[in-house]
Amino acid sequence: MGRIVGGFATSHVLFPPAGVEAQAERVLQGMLAIRERIRALDPDLIVLAGSDHLNTFSLAMQVTLAVGVADAYTTLGDGGAPVATFAGHRAFAEGFVRFAAGRDFDLVQVEEVRPDHGMAIPRMIADPANRIPVVPVYINANMPTPPSPGRCYRLGGVLKEFVEAERPADERVVVLGAGGLSHWLCLPEQGRVASAFDEDFIARMISGRASELAALSAEDILNASGNGGLELTAWLFMAGGAPDAVGEKLYYEAIPEWISGMGGVSLIPRETRA
């Protein structure tokens, strides 16, 4: 059977460092720490969960949960991320969709998609050499109605079941959740950072208490951390794939100039730690 050997989550933006140079450097070093930890785990595949910023999906096509099933992806080139092409993994992606359908998850298969900065930046950080195939999992955080935190966490558990039951022996999978933390976009509160919420969220994630966060409603997260904070459902998907894991805060910076709480964590399952 395969196994999930590690889970990681990170904010998915980078802005110019002018005026916040020290914080920007700590964010960058935290992201690079994620790269080094992923590299050390030597995965065969990265499952990358995050949101689309109305570039593939829109109010005309309001998709709640989707999986990219293409053989390769070319990024959109927005948000400061260069255009790049990286490999997908069709067999894994289509197999996961079929497996999830038997567990009350009807996932949309996406063939033609250009990942925007929400996935392009974390993927570039994790694997700049484009060496590791990636399966994108899209979690709606921008349109009504977002999936609940609990459902995203449970879908991560379904991913774990699939990897262990259906994938080849010794296949090593890393799950990377992208987005967050607290931020308000195009709202009067834009520029506010809910640092107390962010720090509590991270603390529960790395201490094996992500199930407590999964019990929150989407409205709870929206009210506490802004419309951008809904992207934390991707972190919960990641944590659902490693439910017994504890981990480490790799960075956290509240940066109002970047209109966001910036953070990243690692979670290592018990069997990997052993």
Domains of the chain, by residue range, sit at 3-273
Give the pLDDT score at 274: 57
pLDDT beyond 80 at 7 = yes
Q: How many CB atoms lie within 10 A of CB 235?
A: 34
pLDDT beyond 90 at 229 = yes
Give the DSSP letter of residue 235. H
> For a pLDDT cut of 70, what percent of the chain falls above it?
99
Give the pLDDT score at 272: 76
Residue of 255, 66, 93 lying closest to 152 (CA atoms): 66
At residue 31's C-alpha, the angle toward residues 50 and 182, to 5°, is 50
Query: Pairing mode, if any, of strands 108-110 and 72-74?
Result: unpaired
Cis peptide before 145 (omega within 30 of 0): yes
Please give the average per-residue pLDDT across 52-56, as a whole number: 92
pLDDT beyond 90 at 189 = no
pLDDT beyond 70 at 273 = no
| Exposure on the CB side of residue 81, measured as CA atoms within 13 A | 25
Give the pLDDT score at 260: 97
Query: Pairing mode, if any, of strands 134-139 and 65-68?
Result: antiparallel
User: How sure is the predictor about 190, in pLDDT bands with cuts at 50, 70 and 90?
Assistant: confident
User: How sure is the predictor about 271, in pLDDT bands with cuts at 50, 70 and 90?
Assistant: confident
Rounded Cα gap, residues 242 and 226, in angstroms: 26
Q: Cβ distance 36 to 164 under 8 Å? A: no
User: How sure is the predictor about 139, in pLDDT bands with cuts at 50, 70 and 90?
Assistant: very high
The pTM (predicted TM-score) of the whole model is 0.97
pLDDT beyond 60 at 207 = yes
In angstroms, the Cα distances linking 253 to 13, 22, 155, 176, 193 are 13, 10, 29, 19, 10
Cis peptide before 181 (omega within 30 of 0): yes
Mean of the per-residue pLDDT values for the chain?
Answer: 95
Q: Of 138 and 185, which is predicted with more confidence?
A: 138
Rounded Cα gap, residues 85 and 74, in angstroms: 4
Q: Cβ distance 202 to 252 under 8 Å? A: yes
Please give the average per-residue pLDDT across 49-58, as a whole number: 93
Top CATH class of 3-273 equals alpha beta
Q: Facing residues of 68 across strands?
A: 110
Give the pLDDT score at 91: 98
Tokens 């009807």 belong to 106
Give the pLDDT score at 186: 79
Q: How many CB atoms lie within 10 A of CB 260?
A: 30
Q: Helical H runs in the chain?
A: 21-41, 90-101, 117-126, 149-166, 195-206, 210-214, 218-225, 233-240, 270-273
